[in-house]
Amino acid sequence: MRKICLYLHVHQPLRLKNLSIFDISYGNPHTLSHYIDEKTNEKVFNKVAQKSYLPANTIFKRLLEKNEKFKINLSITGTLIEQAKKSNLNVLDSFAKLTKTGKAEILAETYYHTLASLYSQAEFKSQVKLHAKMIKKIFNQTPISFRNTELIYSDWIAQMVEDMGYKNIITEGHEKFLHWKSPNYLYTSNTKKGMNLLLKNYKLSDDIAWRFSNKGWGEYPLTAEKYLHWLDFTPGDTINLFMDFETLGEHQWADTGIFNFLESFVNLATKNGYEFINIKESGKKLKTVGHMTIDQVISWADEERDTSAWNENSMQKDTLEKIYSLEKSIKQKKNKSLLKLWRIMQTSDHFYYMCTKWFNDGDAHKYFSPYGTPHQAYCNFSNSLISLNQIVRR
């Protein structure tokens, strides 16, 4: 039986307040609310909850309960959970209902959705542990599968993950680094023990995530039948559909028909000989076809599939270097809220806002940014650093 691995990433950052020089060290710098734009965060969270999390989870719950062969994989960041706890407990509850079916697997990742894997091994491990602890507490699951922020991957990152005891890992499957190899098989990571490695089928994933509602697309409108037909003609053991959860209802609005599509596709696929799997079962349900060596650092982002959306230009390099250079002095302070603030400032989104790659094109980067320009994002981050420093220096 052919497999489909559906994996959805659930994340919202804790956006930072626009601190000007006149705000620095005003108020009580020890309260996180001085730094975090709670109003915007709550507004965005509630919007996405209504448009995406709640309606999609209603469908997923129904599918998980009624369709025996349907399973789902999720990663949920700590920054999202915190906002859900604060703004809308129904959201948390809707995810918990999925995990209670025993068919929704939650993956491990960094709690604050950071690039720590690239900058500090110790910090990376701390954040992954922190995340696993939270997942255990809220969903009563101990993750054994791992997804790094933005599916950032390299053999040496995989080794760090394996050393922490994880058995399964996922990343991007682009021909840039797969060459003649297909993403539609199970591979073994190029690490000491070898983890089960699943690769994103980016073409079929992006048909849903990016092209679904594009009326200029030759295949518009996409129906469940047509999509399944494509899957039938795709060789391999497994089709790995990896995307942001917010694709459902937020990037592709409800009126595009995305929810109906999803439900009919799942039911049609399982009727036609497909089985949805959890990532933790990949070793049992699939046969590995060999080792996969990835010596460069890859990700699932942009055409480049590298980390240039976060750390290419001078503003990003500068701020990333600064925030991680504070590790020692922050940890020495042994101040919980200071440590938390430092970690919140590591969230990759802050650096994504500084990306100048397609600054003038009004593309996805701009869509997600609360700032007018990447330069404003940098200036604001610099002001937040100055404010953070005011506490560190005390």
Partner 1 sequence: MPKSRIKVLMIAFELPPFNSGGLGEACLGLTKALSQHVDITFLLPTKLDYPYTHMKLIYGDEFLKNKRRRPDKVFKGYENTPYQNLEALGIETVSKNMVERAMLEDFDIVHAHDWMAVKTAMQIAEKKQVPWVFQLHSTEIDRSPIEYLDRQKYDLEKLGVERASRIITVSNYTKKIVQQYFCNTDNIDTVYNDLTIDNNNFSEALPIDRPIILSLGRITYQKGLENLLKTARIVVDKVPEALFVIVGDGDKTRDLIEYSGTLGLSGNIVFTGFLRGKEKELIYNSASVFMMPSISEPFGLVAIEAASKGIPTIISKQSGVCEVLKGSKIVDYWDSEKMAKYILKILENKKHRAKIIEEQNKSLKNISWENSALEVNRIYNKILR
Crossing angle of helices 78-87 and 38-48, rounded to 10°: 90
Least Å from the CB of residue 323 to partner 1 = 9
Return phi, psi of residue 216, to 5°: -85, -5
Least Å from the CB of residue 160 to partner 1 = 27
Please give the residues from 348 up to 367 whose contact with partner 1 meets the rule CB under 8 A: 356
**Residue span binding partner 1 (CB under 8 A) among the ranges 18-26, 117-125, 155-163, 227-235:** 18-26
Q: Closer to partner 1 at the Cβ: 142 or 390? A: 390
Least Å from the CB of residue 354 to partner 1 = 8
Contact yes or no for 296/306 (Cβ under 8 A): yes
Instruction: Please report whether residue 347 would count as binding partner 1 according to CB under 8 A.
Output: no
Least Å from the CB of residue 315 to partner 1 = 4
Q: Total number of residues binding partner 1 (CB under 8 A)?
A: 28
Nearest to 43 by CA among 370, 354, 371: 370
In angstroms, the Cα distances linking 226 to 66, 71, 229 are 23, 22, 5
In angstroms, the Cα distances linking 325 to 88, 206, 227, 273, 352 are 35, 37, 48, 53, 19
**Residue span binding partner 1 (CB under 8 A) among the ranges 10-18, 20-28, 193-201, 300-308:** 20-28
Kindly tell me which residue out of 137, 215, 336, 393 binds partner 1, with binding defined by CB under 8 A: 393
Least Å from the CB of residue 391 to partner 1 = 12
Contact yes or no for 245/209 (Cβ under 8 A): no
Least Å from the CB of residue 29 to partner 1 = 11
Q: Closer to partner 1 at the Cβ: 156 or 359? A: 359
**Residue span binding partner 1 (CB under 8 A) among the ranges 16-24, 40-48, 117-125, 329-337:** 16-24
d(CA 300, CA 174) in angstroms, rounded, equals 9
Catalytic residue, from 82, 109, 123, 150: name it.
Answer: 150
What mask, x for binding partner 1 by CB under 8 A, covers residues 297 to 336? ----------------xxxxxxx-xx--------------
d(CA 307, CA 118) in angstroms, rounded, equals 10
Strand partners, 108: 146
Q: Closer to partner 1 at the Cβ: 334 or 393? A: 393
Q: Closer to partner 1 at the Cβ: 201 or 313? A: 313
For residue 90, the surrounding DSSP H or E stretch is helix 89-100
Q: Closer to partner 1 at the Cβ: 168 or 313? A: 313
Query: At a CB cut-off of 8 Å and minimum separation 6, what does 347 contact?
Result: 13, 14, 79, 112, 113, 114
Four-point Cα dihedral 331, 151, 263, 80, nearest 10: 20
Please give the residues from 22 up to 61 whose contact with partner 1 meets the rule CB under 8 A: 22, 24-26
Instruction: Please report whether residue 20 would count as binding partner 1 according to CB under 8 A.
Output: yes
Contact yes or no for 365/355 (Cβ under 8 A): yes
Strand partners, 198: 170
Please give the residues from 78 up to 117 whose contact with partner 1 meets the rule CB under 8 A: none
Contact yes or no for 70/270 (Cβ under 8 A): yes
d(CA 242, CA 25) in angstroms, rounded, equals 43
Least Å from the CB of residue 385 to partner 1 = 4
Q: Closer to partner 1 at the Cβ: 268 or 379? A: 379
Instruction: Please report whether residue 296 would count as binding partner 1 according to CB under 8 A.
Output: no
Helices assigned H by DSSP within the chain? 38-48, 54-66, 78-87, 89-100, 116-119, 121-139, 155-163, 175-178, 202-209, 224-232, 258-271, 282-285, 308-311, 314-325, 327-333, 336-344, 348-352, 364-368, 374-392
What mask, x for binding partner 1 by CB under 8 A, covers residues 369 to 388? ----x-x--xx-xxx-xx--
To the query of whether residue 82 is one of the catalytic residues in this protein, the response is: no
Q: Closer to partner 1 at the Cβ: 25 or 126? A: 25
Least Å from the CB of residue 296 to partner 1 = 24
- Written as one letter, the residue type at 142 is T
Active site residues: 150
Please give the residue ranges that form the binding site for partner 1 (CB under 8 A). Answer: 20-22, 24-26, 313-319, 321-322, 356, 373, 375, 378-379, 381-383, 385-386, 389-390, 393
